Structure 1
């Protein structure tokens, strides 16, 4: 097996220069880089990542902890993070926390044990205090979809309250005043904020909120289906339905049809996230755009700037939702109920 010394000799450069080419952490003249890469190719030399890590104090790997590995939401986030790091010559290690405190803690410890240079965390169950303690230990990390005031500079978040408000405004502006709401798990901060935005829009419209019009879902398709069954079982009329994510909206649309309702003629439905499936429901789903891919990319850039010293990168920490109008909502005057 070829060694770094043989590469150095064949290329006619120092060991330090070979190391700089491999680690990509210091500018090297293009002609020199090509000589080193040609020597590596001729000798069949493959850098030892452990040795590189010891030499540079960097592993060039970043840990990503997400709530789940399935579904279009997390897929879009992870893909954008990985693409940004791949372009920068870095690699990712991925773990899942499953929205459970112990599992999230274990995931963080696992990623740290893999000598990751930094962590990107989409965590929901660990406390703010735990995250503040991580920072106090000088563990480099950035949060996605979470605001912790004490570590605000480490947080990349969406204005979820505004998103819930905008979703409700869509239906109110179309004349709907009898509304149902399927939330995510209300122990989660994003679900709480979207629900708060919904109630604020109702309050501004002079509509009293009836708790029977709320179903607490699970952010999965089954939550939307169960929500429709529950709301219909309350015996309350509703011509509009807000779902706190697109997966639940999809489940609600399927169940509504099975209950004999036509969409949007009898029931207008709006989702939240603007994931890929919202393009393929019938009718196409009106939703709130959650720019999770852009937020994932920004988390990667946060790491590249703060950990790998790419100072020219510009960061955005707070993102704003926007309405994506499609075909699942119509004016109340068009409904038959």
Structure 2
């Protein structure tokens, strides 16, 4: 196995220079850095990660806590985080909380025990007070998907209220007034905010969201299926269905087709998130774009700037959703 001494000799530079290149501690000219990297490649030299950690006081690993691993939403978020950090030579350790306070706290403690240089977290169950205390600790923390004024510089958020408004307005503008709404779980902040936006749009068109037009879903396809079944079983003559995410929208669309409803002629459907499959189902789903991949990249950039002192990175804390019009909404004449 090659040693750092052999790399130094082959590259024709000092041991200190090789160390600087490996650890990225100080700037080295591109020409010198190339000599070192070429020598490392020729000798098949692999830096000892433990030794690097001791020398730099960094593990080059970032802990990532997400609510779950199922569904396209979290896949896009994790892809944005991992791809950005991998380009910078960092690695991600992932754990999940499954929307349970004890499991979220346990997962965060696990990541801290791995000596991660920073944490990126998307949580649902822990309190704001817990997050405030966590962000005041020794490990830098970035929180995706929420806004807390006391730790606003640690937060990355989407304007979910605006997104809910845009989703409802998409069908209201086409003449729909009998509109069913399938919400996300009532304990989730983003679901609460999207509902507020939905209600704001209805008020603008002198509509009300009565209990008969509301169903609480679960953010997976079964919520959409069960929600539409609820409306049909109760003889609600809805012409449009707005769902708080795309997975529930897809479940509702499948249930509609299985029960011989012609989409969108007999039922218009709108989703939220704009996940990859939204453009491939039939009819293609009109939805609200949730830039979760970009939010993941932003969280990674915040870590790179805060922890690794990378410069000239664009930092953005607030994201705006946009309506993506496709083929799942018809016009009421």
| TM > 0.5 fold call | yes
Equivalence for 1:263:
263
Equivalence for 2:156:
156
Deviates more, 1:130-139 or 1:213-222: 130-139
Do residues 179 (structure 1) and 183 (structure 2) align? no
Deviation at 1:163, TM superposition (A): 0.4
Equivalence for 2:37:
37
Deviation at 1:46, TM superposition (A): 1.3
Equivalence for 1:279:
279
SS at match of 2:241: strand
Alignment partners' CA distance in 2, 1:155 and 1:244? 22
SS at match of 1:260: coil
**1:252-291: per-residue Cα shift (whole Å, max 9, x none)?**
0011122221110011000000011101111100000001
Alignment partners' CA distance in 1, 2:262 and 2:48? 61
Q: List runs of 5+ in structure 2 lacking aligned partners.
A: none
Equivalence for 1:118:
118
Deviation at 1:26, TM superposition (A): 2.1
**1:134-168: per-residue Cα shift (whole Å, max 9, x none)?**
12223201111111121011111100001001111
Structure 1 runs (4+) greater than 4 angstroms displaced: none
Alignment partners' CA distance in 2, 1:286 and 1:176? 15
Equivalence for 2:216:
216
Cα RMSD after superposing both structures: 1.3
**1:197-237: per-residue Cα shift (whole Å, max 9, x none)?**
11111122211221121111110011100111111122221
Equivalence for 1:328:
328
Equivalence for 2:19:
19
Alignment partners' CA distance in 2, 1:39 and 1:3? 11
Alignment partners' CA distance in 1, 2:228 and 2:236? 12
Alignment partners' CA distance in 2, 1:300 and 1:290? 17
Equivalence for 1:229:
229
Deviates more, 1:35-44 or 1:55-64: 35-44
The answer to whether the 8 Å contact 2:135/2:154 transfers is no
Alignment partners' CA distance in 2, 1:208 and 1:115? 52
Alignment partners' CA distance in 1, 2:276 and 2:36? 44
Q: TM-score, normalised by structure 1?
A: 0.95
Deviation at 1:90, TM superposition (A): 1.4
Do residues 83 (structure 1) and 100 (structure 2) align? no
Deviates more, 1:307-316 or 1:34-43: 34-43
Do residues 97 (structure 1) and 101 (structure 2) align? no
Alignment partners' CA distance in 2, 1:163 and 1:2? 56
SS at match of 1:74: helix
SS at match of 2:314: coil
SS at match of 1:332: coil
Alignment partners' CA distance in 2, 1:43 and 1:273? 48
Alignment partners' CA distance in 2, 1:107 and 1:294? 24
Equivalence for 1:108:
108
**1:5-34: per-residue Cα shift (whole Å, max 9, x none)?**
333344333322111111223221223222
The answer to whether the 8 Å contact 2:180/2:241 transfers is yes
Equivalence for 1:247:
247
Do residues 204 (structure 1) and 204 (structure 2) align? yes
Equivalence for 1:68:
68
The number of equivalent residue pairs is: 333
Deviation at 1:49, TM superposition (A): 0.7
Q: List runs of 5+ in structure 1 lacking aligned partners.
A: none
Alignment partners' CA distance in 2, 1:188 and 1:289? 19
SS at match of 1:73: helix
Equivalence for 1:301:
301
